[in-house]
Amino acid sequence: MTSNMMEKFDRYWNDVHGVLAMASLLDPRFKLKLPQYFFPLIYGEDKGLVEVKKVCNLCEEIFLEYQVKVGEKRSKEIKAICNSEFNHVDEMDSLDSFFSWNSKSTDAIEKSELDCYLEEKTLPGSREFDVLSWWKLNGIKYPIMSEIARDILAIPISTVASESSFSTSGRIVSAQRNTIDDVGDIDVDDIDVDDDNDNEVNEAVDCSGATKA
């Protein structure tokens, strides 16, 4: 039984663990820290690092896809905001200050919105933290990442009951259990949905159960 359950778990895990890791990355309390910690425990040190790299590649692919979707204009605006040297320029500085800044900025590596988000320090852990509200408030700062968060975090973990996913006994409600004998003999047309006739229906059900017993 254990092996059958493990087989099912591995099959589902292989399909969804990348999306779950992406959802973790979109939580500013965890980002890549959660996969970096747990994947080596799950897969072992070497394979865990490989799986973390896969998550990083997946994040970059998704970001590039959404970057095109959101548009080059908004992306360039965010890159300008992320360049820290640019933010410290004071319009009242002297010309010498400008030349000093310009010599530094030409060597600066342009960062993407994803890099800026990941480089920011993770938030303190709190069970009351509302990740959706956080992205709503930070959508101006991270417009592309907020679009990704809106889509990824809206995906339900599962639409199938856990009993159905991991049960080794087959279908919970079989074709035989789904049939109704005595109560099924009651004609639906004879049942009035008004409150006055509720007792009559209950009595009919009770009588059929007593007769069967």
- Render pLDDT for 140-193 as a digit per residue (tens, 0 to 9): 999 999 999 999 998 876 666 555 555 555 555 555 555 555 555 555 555 455
> What's the angle, vertex CA 106, arms to CA 102 and CA 109, rounded to 5?
130
Closest CA to 131 of 159, 152, 112: 152
Closest CA to 131 of 36, 26, 35, 33: 26
- Confidence band (pLDDT; 50, 70, 90) for 200? low
- Rounded Cα gap, residues 162 and 21, in angstroms: 21
pLDDT in the model for residue 126: 84
pLDDT in the model for residue 207: 54
pLDDT in the model for residue 63: 92
Which has more confidence, 11 or 143?
Answer: 143
Q: What percent of the chain has pLDDT over 90?
A: 27
- Rounded Cα gap, residues 150 and 134, in angstroms: 11
Which has more confidence, 87 or 95?
Answer: 95
User: Residue 51 pLDDT > 80, yes or no?
Assistant: yes
pLDDT in the model for residue 211: 47
pLDDT in the model for residue 108: 46
pLDDT in the model for residue 127: 86
- Rounded Cα gap, residues 169 and 31, in angstroms: 39
- Render pLDDT for 90-114 as a digit per residue (tens, 0 to 9): 554 566 666 666 665 544 456 889 9
